[in-house]
Structure 1
Amino acid sequence: MLSSKAKYGLKAMVYLARREGGGTALIADIAQAEHIPRKFLDVILLELKNQGFLASKKGKGGGYTLARPADTIAVGDIVRVLDGPLAPVRCVSRLSYRRCDDCTDEAACAVRAIMQDVRDAIAAILDTTMLAAMATRAPAESVLMYEI
């Protein structure tokens, strides 16, 4: 399951992607617009900055911007920074593999086999979806309105 940290991080990144080229954004403005607790957002944005996704400027006119174009940032990379591996269980993680304590034969484990499929499906979507594409998607409310 996607953590609140990753969800809020994605929402903040989408906010910044939608403003791309429009200058810096204040943390308070992002927090208010996206309904994110300010103190939690501070921690998230600092982590994204430390990982090279964001740039910041202090003082008047300061705030956050994307460190590189939104069309070069994979959604999967953001999720991994904030939540860790995409794998639902460690024994199928490509970056944080750890054998399950109760598994005697990984090759015959049906749980592991299906979880590999889950990991691959999640990664296929998140690693091929760029932040710019995510930022241009219609909000869920708009989609629901047209389905009625």
Structure 2
Amino acid sequence: MLSQKTRYALRALVELARAGGAQQTSGELALRADAPRKFLEAILLELSRARIVVSRRGKFGGYILARPAGEISFAEVIRALEGPLALAPCVSLTAFRKCDDCPDLATCTLREALSRARDATASVLEAYSLADAAAQGRADPPVPGAAAPP
């Protein structure tokens, strides 16, 4: 289940994608993402460290996406804030380790189902970008992973 922190992050990033490269302040993003400003500022700092957003300081400061919205997937954002997408560490591609209570990986009866769930989840979230989400509500909803219309 996604944390509130990640939901706020995704909503703010979608608003940055909708801004089309225009810089947005944390206050503007907090209003548009319906998120508490101070909490969102901390989240944006984490996203900046993960190189998902770029921050500019000063009177005319704000945030922009570090790359085009179509190149930033939901999976990348979730991994940056929550960690691996896998339900158990023994099926994680990015943070593999044997489960503490598992006597043998080869005979584990849970691993196959958890691996399939990881693959299905990763497939959907890797293919769905901030640009896809930003286009929601327009006349023709995007196909996840498809190029945005000209």
Give the structure-1-normalised TM-score.
0.86
C-alpha spacing 1:138/1:110, structure 2 compared with 1 (3 Å): farther
Q: CA RMSD in A?
A: 1.5
Segments of 4+ moved more than 4 angstroms = none
Shift of 1:60: 2.8
Aligned-partner residue type, residue 78 of structure 1:
V
8 A Cα contact 1:76 1:126, kept in partner: yes
Aligned-partner residue type, residue 59 of structure 2:
K
Structure 1: give runs of 5+ residues left out of the alignment: 140-148
1:47 is matched with 46
Residues 69-101 of structure 1: CA deviation (Å, up to 9, x unaligned): 111112111110011000011111111112112
Task: Report the identity percentage.
Answer: 44
Shift of 1:108: 2.5
8 A Cα contact 2:26 2:40, kept in partner: yes
2:143 is matched with none
Shift of 1:138: 2.9
Residues 8-32 of structure 1: CA deviation (Å, up to 9, x unaligned): 11111001000023x2111111112
Higher helix share: 1
Highest RCO, 1 vs 2 (Cα 8 Å, sep ≥ 6): 1
1:19 is matched with 19
8 A Cα contact 1:27 1:41, kept in partner: yes
Aligned-partner residue type, residue 30 of structure 2:
A
